[in-house]
Amino acid sequence: MIPRELISVFNNRELELLIAGLPDFNFEDLKDNIDYDGYTSESDQIVWFWEIIKSFSPSDLALLLQFVTGSSKIPLDGFKALQGMNGLQNFQIKRLRTRDLQRLPIGHTCFNQLDLPEYPTKEILQERLLFAIQNCVGFGMV
């Protein structure tokens, strides 16, 4: 329906955002429907994570969602209706135990899971998270 030359300037992420629009991100809904593995809601890295993503632009929030879930869209019923490989699957943040602080976060879209290294500062976490969501596509592409 749309001539190829008109959409060829967009990559698959940009085209999805163009068609579907930016998500209406509800942080409280996500907080109510998130699981932690190796972290708690009081862990420094999780407190920083929330502070960081609340400062994200709408397009970076869409990239985060796409990086972790495979889609830049939030289900109509909110995060409680997020689908994974085996049906309903909450957004998850799993502690990635590594001594290599150059490691980037990893998104597992089949499981709606973000593997988040235990970065020592909020600044490092923000830098690595933004780099990962803006530059890495696909499972384990870090």
- DSSP result, the chain: ---HHHHTTS-HHHHHHHHH------HHHHHHTEEEES--TTSHHHHHHHHHHHTS-HHHHHHHHHHHHS-SSPPTT-GGG-EETTEE--EEEEEE--S-TTPPPEEETTTTEEEEE--SSHHHHHHHHHHHHHH--STT--
Is the pLDDT assigned to residue 136 strictly greater than 60? yes
Does residue 115 lie within any of the structural domains? yes
Does residue 30 lie within any of the structural domains? yes
Does residue 72 lie within any of the structural domains? yes
Query: pLDDT for 54-87, tens place per residue?
Result: 999 988 998 999 999 998 888 878 899 899 998 9
Predicted confidence at residue 119, as pLDDT, reads 97
Predicted confidence at residue 140, as pLDDT, reads 45
**Mean pLDDT of the region 83-94:** 94
Domain range holding 74?
A: 23-135
Does residue 142 lie within any of the structural domains? no
Does residue 118 lie within any of the structural domains? yes
Does residue 141 lie within any of the structural domains? no
Catalytic site residues? 110
Task: Say which residue, 74 or 10, is predicted with more confidence.
Answer: 74
Count of domains forming the chain: 1
CATH number, domain with residue 46: 3.30.2410.10
Q: Is the pTM of this model over 0.85?
A: no
Is the pLDDT assigned to residue 142 strictly greater than 60? no
Does residue 35 lie within any of the structural domains? yes
Is the pLDDT assigned to residue 24 strictly greater than 60? yes
